[in-house]
Amino acid sequence: MIKVENGVLIYHYDAEEVWIQGWGTNGLRIRATKEAQMPEADWALDKAKCVAAEIRVEPEGAWIQNGKARLFLTNGGKITVFNQNGKLLLEEYWRNRRSVTDLKCSAIEVEAREFQPNKGGIYHLTWRLESVERSEKLFGMGQYQQPYLDLKGLDLELAHRNSQASVPFLLSSLGYGLLWNNPAVGRAVLGKNTMSFEAFSTRALDCWITVGDTPAEIEEAYADVAGKVPMMPEYGLGFWQCKLRYQTQEELLEVAREYKRRGLPIDVIVVDYFHWPYQGEWKFDPVYWPDPDAMIQELKEMGIELMVSIWPTVDPRSENYEEMLENGYLIRTERGVRIGLNYEGGTIHYDSTNPGARKYVWSKVKKNYYDKGVHIFWLDEAEPEYSAYDFDNYRYYLGTDLEVGNIYPVEYSHTFYEGMESEGQTNIVNLLRCAWCGSQKYGALVWSGDIASSFSSMRNQLAAGLNMAIAGIPWWTTDIGGFHGGNPNDPEFRELFARWFEWGTFCPVMRLHGDREPRQPQYGTTGGATCRSGAPNEVWCYGEEVYNICEKYMNLRESMRDYTREIMKEAHEKGTPVMRPLFYSYPEDTACWDVEDEYMYGGSYLVAPILEAGARSRKVYLPTGKTWENIDTKEQFAGGQWIEAAAPIDVIPVFAAK
């Protein structure tokens, strides 16, 4: 049965009900459930973007159109999506005999929308789609540790892990964008014969589709319904110094002073984890950080902002543990001792799905950090080693879920954003390891996690950053040099570090971080001192040649401050990615859709990172329609051709559009 109620196209058959309505620019929202009523959650979508669409019911089914997006729903329940010119973009994979006039009528009986019941009255959902064209290219979906920009043919886990962030928005070369608006753990299979999206535990299918003539039109429509980043603060435009980890107040200050003595531009320095007495005490340990007020003031006088790391774990020895336990602010375990993570002590995570717990943590952070002048937070989820889920009382919050324990980074961001809003302050930066669709509007700056120090890992980060950008997260960064290991005295690592540093200059945020070797000796016996630090990780620790490279590119980044500010403004106002695949800026140049190891930093600079050890040149494609000038050699080249670009150890090939 098909009907129209309150501007919603509704299909009902047996236990299933489907709702389709206009949402945003050129967009349609599709929902389906087998529950008694449609769930109310909007997840990543802004409810205010629900709009009236044109609906026409015919004998064979019904049409619904919102701008360039046109959808046909058959009397048998099958959905197909077209653009304004009638081009087929998406088609559900139906293989049954419900409609014998369907050209794909089949006896194999496969549903496009399959709801398999789980215990507790909810479903394992699979949504199946035809692969309309084998040559279709797909981009987005978040951050995965693999080297492919084009995701067609890939099998992706929809879950968060350290260095993996599921942000399930797809942009297709056919001219559509698709948001899998369901934060459940699941799977996306983007095959050449069929595509499918799965949610392992959910109450409804929920997706949003937009149609556009260019990638920019699609991306901006998505940003309009899912949210845009705030304006990046000035301190986000320059160089950030970090390592695992500065152990004392004096050590950190001396590093900052050395940067200033050398005349090197620096905007941010980071106090990483275990600067506290116990986990769950969101404050500086007075033994090793005796005067944080004076430290912050000295840094500000040098023009440097301080970022602090915050963990969600609470030690039973913490001064806050009993109060949080009494008020129900800690998560619970299914059985046994209440320990969720055993790292420098057995701890349990605070319950970020509890509004009272969020308010409590913010009150501590506000008192001990924010009110002292620290307005940048590194919100680390601390990788829980367990699965904390309850299928009978399944809950989500802001796009993360309990099933894999990923209940921390987005909720932290939302907590701090709420606190800032109450004080009229919304221009914040939260450095997070994971995010979901819509996290950007809470000031989420995602970094790619604890990654390996290798050229292959660096290659993966390029794909991760570009797909994260298409997935709607413009603020993104990576650990320059990789996180795990790497000895500053090793010539091979120095080469990797130099190449990564050059590339980092053209990332949305330029941040040096890593856990270097050899490890430093333990410097104390109490508090965070039990967590040993890695080797020094400042730019002067890698030898004179590398230092000169770092100095060159730090100054280049500083000279681009006005430009970086402008492209951050585009991200804030329109949702435009800061890092852009070539096809985003040059969609009519078909070759640009095939190039996966170059990108545009904003609209003016083409960046071609060196991704192999020993390479001193590389092939670079220059898009048609522009003249391109090598920023190092000042040579100019016509667009629409491949060239061999020189890349001595102190050069990353970068070309300015003229």
Which structure tokens are listed for 495?
């080469």
Q: What is the mean pLDDT of the chain?
A: 92
Sign of CA dihedral 556, 562, 565, 570: negative
Q: Could you tell me how many helices (H) and strands (E) the chain has, helices first? A: 11, 40
Please identify every residue annotated as catalytic.
Answer: 380, 383, 450
Report the share of the chain in percent with pLDDT over 90: 87
Neighbours of 557 (CB within 10 A): 20
Checking if the pLDDT of 476 tops 70, the result is: yes
Query: Is pLDDT of 400 > 60?
Result: no
Q: Which residue has the higher pLDDT, 399 or 39?
A: 39
Res 403: pLDDT: 28
Rounded mean pLDDT of 161-177? 97
Tokens of 528: 């965070």
Task: Give the model confidence (pLDDT) of 558-587 as tens digits.
Answer: 999 999 999 999 999 999 999 999 999 999
Name the residue among 98, 97, 95 with its Cα closest to residue 110: 95
DSSP per-residue string spanning 566-632? HHHHHHHHH---SEE-HHHH-TT-GGGGT--S-EEETTTEEE----STT--EEEEEE-TTSEEEETT
The neighbouring-strand residues paired with 127 are 113, 197
* Residue 405: pLDDT over 60: no
What mean pLDDT do residues 449-455 have?
A: 97
Confidence of residue 99 (pLDDT cuts 50, 70, 90): confident
Strands of the sheet containing 123-130, edge to edge, are 113-117, 123-130, 194-202, 186-190, 155-158
Conformational region of residue 109, where left means phi above 0, alpha means psi within -120 to 50, and beta covers everything else: left
Instruction: Give residue-wise pLDDT tens across range 341-385.
Output: 999 999 999 998 899 999 999 999 999 999 999 988 888 765 443
As a whole-number percent, the residues of the chain with pLDDT over 70 amount to: 93
Q: How confident is the model at residue 599 (pLDDT cuts 50, 70, 90)?
A: very high
Rounded mean pLDDT, 105-121: 90
Q: Measured between alpha carbons, how far is 436 from 453 in angstroms, rounded to an integer?
A: 26
Number of Cβ atoms within 10 Å of the Cβ of 446: 30
Q: Is 488 exposed, middle or buried (0-12, 13-18, 19+ CB in 10 A)?
A: buried
Model confidence band, residue 263 (pLDDT cutoffs 50, 70, 90): very high
pLDDT at residue 408 in the model: 31
Average pLDDT over residues 38-49: 96
Task: Specify the pLDDT at position 417.
Answer: 58
Element (H, E) at 16: strand 16-23
Would you state the pLDDT for residue 428? 78
**pLDDT confidence of 419, banded at 50, 70, 90?**
low
Number of residues that this document lists for the chain: 658
Quick one: pLDDT band at residue 412, thresholds 50, 70, 90? very low
| CB neighbourhood size of 503 (10 A) | 23
Q: Using 50, 70 and 90 to split pLDDT, how confident is the model at 418?
A: low
Sign of CA dihedral 45, 434, 606, 547: positive
Handedness of CA 332, 337, 341, 345 (dihedral sign): positive
Rounded CA separation 496/503 (Å): 11
pLDDT at position 463 over 50 = yes
In this structure, the dihedral spanned by the alpha carbons of residues 613, 614, 617 and 618, taken in order and rounded to 10 degrees, is -30
Neighbours of 342 (CB within 10 A): 9
Name every residue whose Cβ is closer than 8 Å to that of residue 39 and which is 6 or more positions away in sequence.
33, 203, 204
Q: Does residue 115 have a pLDDT over 60?
A: yes
Q: Which of 220, 151, 136 is nearest to 463 (CA)?
A: 151
pLDDT for 422 equals 54
Q: Return d(Cα 70, Cα 90) in angstroms, integer.
A: 11
pLDDT score recorded for residue 137: 98
Three-class SS of residue 458?
Answer: helix
Look-up: residue for tokens 């942009």?
Answer: 171
What is the edge-to-edge ordering of all strands in the sheet holding 346-349?
A: 313-314, 346-349, 341-342
Top pLDDT among 650 and 404 is at: 650
> Are the CB atoms for 112 and 128 separated by under 8 Å?
yes
pLDDT at 108: 92
What span, in angstroms and rounded, lies between the C-alpha atoms of 232 and 592?
29
Cβ neighbour number for residue 616 with a 10 Å cutoff = 11
Q: What is the rounded distance in angstroms from the CA atom of residue 162 to the CA atom of residue 432?
A: 10
In whole angstroms, what is the distance from residue 354 CA to residue 348 CA?
Answer: 15
* Amino acid type, 167: V
pLDDT for res 96 = 87
What's CA 524's distance to the chain center, in Å?
Answer: 37
Please give the full DSSP string across 82-126, using - where no structure is assigned.
E-TT--EEEEB--BSSSSTTSTT--TT-B-SEEEEEPTTS-EEEE
Please choose, from the candidates 457, 549, 557, the residue with its C-alpha nearest in 3D space to the C-alpha of residue 508: 557
Alpha-carbon distance of 98 to 75, in angstroms, equals: 9
Nearest to 378 by CA among 505, 268, 229: 268
